[in-house]
Amino acid sequence: MATTVADLLAIDELRLGLVAGKAGLDRPIRWAHVSELVDPTRFLRGGEVLLTTGLGMGGGPRAQAAYVGQLARAELAALGVGLGFAFEATPPAVLEAADRAGFPVFEVLRPIPPLAWVPASIIFWPTQELAIIFITFLGAFYTIVINVLGGARSIDVRYFQAAQSMGSSSWDIFRRVILPGTLPSSVVGSAVGMGITWEVVVAAEMISGGGSQQAGVGGGLGFFIWNSYVGGSYEQIVVGMISIGIAGFISSELLRWGGRYATPWLKAR
């Protein structure tokens, strides 16, 4: 049995939001294709899910409606629009044309990569230290939030029903059901986020120039490695890399130890 657009949208982990063309959800999917061309149908055979940021749609309503029309006539399965690049939201002309043709259009919501925030954070934050802290926070934030949400969704609904039937308050349900249910995934998300933050903070220090030189304060490990590279001191580069590895291992192990301490019931499994 072929996978349909409705099956694709039903996958919670992908976080796809249907915005138009509900009548075509039963279309079978043969393949997925990425393109920013004005007319990608020349390279498609039909049945594909086309993923695009919208750069090839055109800037006017007529061009955008024509873009959707050619995809529908080529019998594509659906159109996925990645927001945050060409458009903040799917253009109304695209939605109207998709509804008329019964052609599914969904939005793909993805966070902006943390390092893409480096130029803007340097401009808007008063010091480079605050800019690096902001970028590091963004690096871990989405990973932890997604893991927490996944842990909350995985809690068996019968636990809530049993607690409510015994007269538990909302606070008791949160403390006795939701918090223990999300702790394991929160620990995993924190450990993964810690690894990402080490990558981000090193790269951010390299790009931004490290610490506040006016205050006479040196930068961190990323700035140290970059200065060593510029100065041709390859021994210091190796020392910096080893230091980052040790610091990352220790911080991750501390998180795992805290997770094991906070979730003693998992040891019995």
Q: Where are the domains of the chain?
A: 5-108, 114-268
State which amino acid sits at residue 12: D
Q: Top-level CATH class of 5-108?
A: alpha beta
> From the centroid of its chain, how far is CA 68?
27
Q: What is the mean pLDDT of residues 108-121?
A: 74
Q: Is the pLDDT of residue 90 over 70?
A: yes
| 16 CB neighbour count, 10 Å cutoff | 18
* 31-34: strand order across its sheet: 16-20, 105-108, 78-82, 48-52, 31-34
> What pLDDT shows up at residue 15?
76
What are φ and ψ of residue 43, in 5° steps?
-110, 10
The sign one gets for the Cα dihedral 125, 130, 131, 133 is negative
> From the centroid of its chain, how far is CA 168?
35
Average pLDDT of every residue of the chain: 84
Q: What is the mean pLDDT of residues 202-231?
A: 68
259 burial via Cβ count (<10 Å: 0-12, 13-18, 19+): middle
> What pLDDT shows up at residue 85?
66
Q: Is the pLDDT of residue 94 over 90?
A: yes
What pLDDT band is residue 122 in, cutting at 50, 70 and 90? confident
Domain 114-268 adopts which CATH fold?
Answer: MetI-like fold (1.10.3720)
Q: For residue 31, list its beta bridge partners.
A: 48
Q: Is the pLDDT of residue 107 over 60?
A: yes
What pLDDT band is residue 214 in, cutting at 50, 70 and 90? very low
Q: What is the mean pLDDT of residues 90-113?
A: 87
Q: What is the pLDDT of residues 142-179, one digit of tens each?
A: 778 878 877 887 888 899 999 999 998 989 999 899 98
Percentage of residues in the chain having pLDDT higher than 90: 26
- The residue with tokens 């996978």 is 3
| Predicted TM-score (pTM) of this structure | 0.56
> What pLDDT shows up at residue 218?
55
Among the listed residues 90, 80, 131, 84, the one whose alpha carbon sits nearest the alpha carbon of residue 111: 84
> What pLDDT shows up at residue 143?
79
Q: Is the pLDDT of residue 213 over 50?
A: no
Please give the full DSSP string across 149-207, using - where no structure is assigned. HHHHHTS-HHHHHHHHHTT--HHHHIIIIIHHHHHHHHHHHHHHHHHHHHHHHHHHHHH
> What pLDDT shows up at residue 219?
65
Q: What is the pLDDT of residues 35-84, one digit of tens each?
A: 988 899 988 989 999 999 888 887 789 999 999 999 999 999 999 998 76
